[in-house]
């Protein structure tokens, strides 16, 4: 306990001593924690309501307990991209603090203690964001029905989760006593947990698909569960393809190209192919979900319009469209978060390699070549992964349409094919936001620390 208090005090002192270049990282971390706290408090507020309520907004979507539980589940899923965003902030922060981490190593701190102190720095930023979000959201909660124990739990859990995610993100980072940050044991293939999860979801998918063959019927209420299982499985496959294609493309282009920008990008992809998979994991999941939802939304709206014309709707049309629109808004928020995480991950890659980039610039490599190489590092391995994720999400919507065709006439959801195109373009633009940082990273002054 005394060691933990000493590490916490040291983390606070290091946070207070951060310069202006690091405060943007602290601000982004606090923003992510504030968003996670707001989502958690929203879930607590919905679940604390008991019985039926007449809510003035939402077209009756928040009136019944079952609907509130469904909305709470959708809000809770938003925590996945938020936690991924916090992990990206932790990684880029470790590189900016390399000289301080090296000073801790020279003072006798071990590698794990250095990582723990760096994680506690992120935890303090998360605590600040959680406190601000709690102070802003609590006055808006319904006081008579608010679960105050849940509010306190969220306010405490978010900083703990933030520190935990940071510790996981920094588990492969070690600061040498001479001031160099390096990653130990580069990942050449997916870990055991990833492989186990893929096999588990694949087995579950096979059972669900073969169930009708052996006489088991699929109830209409089971379709969302099956869609979720399929979306996760396709996301895992796309993540694996992102790393595998990065390595194969890197080796192929490195052996057969004479273009400098492509050669630099190929060497980077070949050196650490699975860094792409780690950065794009949440993005690929959102792509699968977004593509599938685009097709399912088209089917649902067509079915609702048919039911309205036939006079068989159980509720007002706005009741259903509000739920669909809220789901679309949640997916857009998740997409904005993963795009921000992609931009932060690209900036982290630049910060990690700033000395090598400065050496390349000093050797005469033009800035335009380095900029094109940076964009190619993102665009090349992301293309096959986004294609698989988008086609997989579209296949889910086609499968969903075939499953519900017994209940209604459904259109062919070709609109889902447009989602991966838009996602890919947005990802390239997000990576391009780090180009201004590239000019700062290639300054000759970085060579002093090589």
Q: 212 falls in which pLDDT band (50, 70, 90)?
A: low
Same structural domain, 120 and 224: no
Considering its fold, how many domains does the chain have in total?
2
DSSP letter assigned to residue 174: E
The torsion region of residue 59 among left (phi > 0), alpha (psi -120 to 50) and beta comes to left
How far apart CA 13 and CA 8 sit, in angstroms, is 9
Domain extent, residue 446, equals 188-450
* Crossing angle of the two packed helices 367-404 and 223-256, in degrees rounded to 10: 150
pTM reported for the whole predicted model = 0.78
Specify the pLDDT at position 432: 87
Least confident piece of the model among 57-66, 153-162, 273-282: 57-66
Specify the pLDDT at position 98: 62
Same structural domain, 255 and 178: no
Same structural domain, 72 and 139: yes
Q: 111 falls in which pLDDT band (50, 70, 90)?
A: confident
Specify the pLDDT at position 240: 82
Least confident piece of the model among 127-141, 159-173, 214-228, 294-308: 214-228
Place of tokens 């997000």: 430
Highest mean pLDDT among 47-61, 129-143, 343-357: 129-143
* Crossing angle of the two packed helices 2-16 and 111-137, in degrees rounded to 10: 70
Same structural domain, 106 and 194: no
Q: 296 falls in which pLDDT band (50, 70, 90)?
A: confident
Same structural domain, 349 and 314: yes
Same structural domain, 175 and 228: no
Same structural domain, 172 and 216: no
Specify the pLDDT at position 132: 92
- Report the mean per-residue pLDDT for the chain: 77
The mean pLDDT value for 51-76 works out to 72
Least confident piece of the model among 36-40, 48-52, 435-439: 48-52
Same structural domain, 192 and 126: no
Same structural domain, 411 and 297: yes
Q: DSSP letters along 166-202, please?
A: HHHHTTTEEE-TTS-EEESS---S--HHHHHHHHHHH
Could you tell me whether strands 173-175 and 181-183 are parallel, antiparallel, or unpaired per DSSP bridges?
antiparallel
Domain boundary among 185, 209, 235: 185
Contact between 161 and 153 under an 8 Å Cβ cutoff? The reply is no
Specify the pLDDT at position 266: 84
Same structural domain, 323 and 363: yes
How far apart CA 310 and CA 330 sit, in angstroms, is 31
Same structural domain, 287 and 140: no
Long-range contacts of 210-219 (CB under 8 A, 24+ apart): 218/403
Same structural domain, 204 and 125: no
Domain boundary among 160, 185, 210: 185
CB neighbours (10 Å) of residue 199? 11
Q: 214 falls in which pLDDT band (50, 70, 90)?
A: very low
Closest of 86, 92, 40, 75 to residue 334, by C-alpha: 75
Q: 56 falls in which pLDDT band (50, 70, 90)?
A: low
Domain boundary among 167, 185, 203: 185
Specify the pLDDT at position 86: 83
* Crossing angle of the two packed helices 98-106 and 79-96, in degrees rounded to 10: 70
Three-class DSSP category at 256: helix
Which run of H or of E encompasses 181? strand 181-183
Q: 223 falls in which pLDDT band (50, 70, 90)?
A: low
């Amino acid at each position: 306990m005394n060691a933990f208090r000493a590490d916490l005090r040291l983390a606070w002192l290091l946070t207070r001593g951060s310069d202006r270049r690091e405060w943007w990282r602290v601000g982004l971390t606090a923003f992510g924690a504030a968003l996670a706290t707001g989502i958690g408090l929203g879930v607590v507020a919905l679940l604390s309501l008991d019985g039926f309520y007449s809510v003035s907004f939402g077209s009756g979507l928040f009136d019944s307990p079952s609907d509130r539980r469904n909305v709470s589940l959708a809000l809770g899923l938003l925590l996945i991209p938020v936690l991924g965003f916090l992990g990206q902030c932790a990684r880029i922060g470790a590189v900016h603090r390399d000289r301080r981490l090296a000073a801790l190593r020279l003072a006798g701190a071990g590698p794990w203690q250095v990582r723990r102190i760096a994680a506690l720095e992120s935890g303090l930023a998360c605590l600040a964001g959680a406190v601000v979000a709690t102070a802003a959201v609590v006055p808006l909660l319904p006081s008579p029905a608010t679960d105050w124990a849940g509010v306190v739990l969220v306010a405490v859990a978010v900083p703990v989760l933030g520190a935990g995610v940071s510790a996981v993100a920094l588990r492969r980072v070690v600061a040498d006593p001479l001031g160099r940050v390096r990653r130990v044991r580069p990942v050449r293939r997916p870990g055991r947990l990833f492989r186990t999860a893929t096999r588990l979801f694949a087995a579950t998918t096979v059972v669900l698909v073969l169930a009708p063959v052996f006489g088991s019927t699929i109830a209409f209420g089971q379709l969302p569960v099956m869609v979720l299982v399929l979306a996760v499985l396709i996301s895992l496959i796309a993540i694996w393809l992102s790393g595998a294609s990065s390595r194969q493309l890197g080796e192929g282009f490195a052996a057969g190209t004479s273009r400098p920008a492509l050669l630099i990008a190929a060497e980077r992809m070949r050196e650490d192919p699975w860094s792409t998979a780690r950065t794009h994991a949440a993005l690929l999941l959102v792509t699968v979900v977004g593509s599938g939802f685009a097709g399912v939304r088209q089917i649902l709206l067509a079915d609702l319009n048919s039911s309205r014309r036939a006079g068989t709707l159980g509720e007002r049309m706005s009741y259903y469209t509000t739920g669909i629109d809220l789901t679309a808004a949640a997916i857009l928020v998740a997409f904005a978060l993963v795009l921000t995480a992609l931009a932060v991950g690209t900036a982290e890659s630049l910060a990690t390699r700033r000395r090598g980039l400065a050496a390349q610039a000093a050797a005469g490599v033009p800035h335009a070549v380095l900029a094109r190489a940076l964009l190619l590092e993102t665009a090349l391995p992301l293309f096959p992964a986004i294609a698989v994720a988008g086609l997989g999400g579209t296949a889910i919507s086609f499968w969903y349409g075939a499953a519900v065709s017994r209940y209604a006439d459904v259109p062919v959801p070709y609109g889902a094919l447009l989602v991966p195109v838009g996602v890919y373009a947005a990802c390239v633009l997000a990576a391009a936001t780090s180009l201004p940082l590239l000019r700062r990273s290639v300054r000759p002054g970085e060579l002093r620390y090589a």
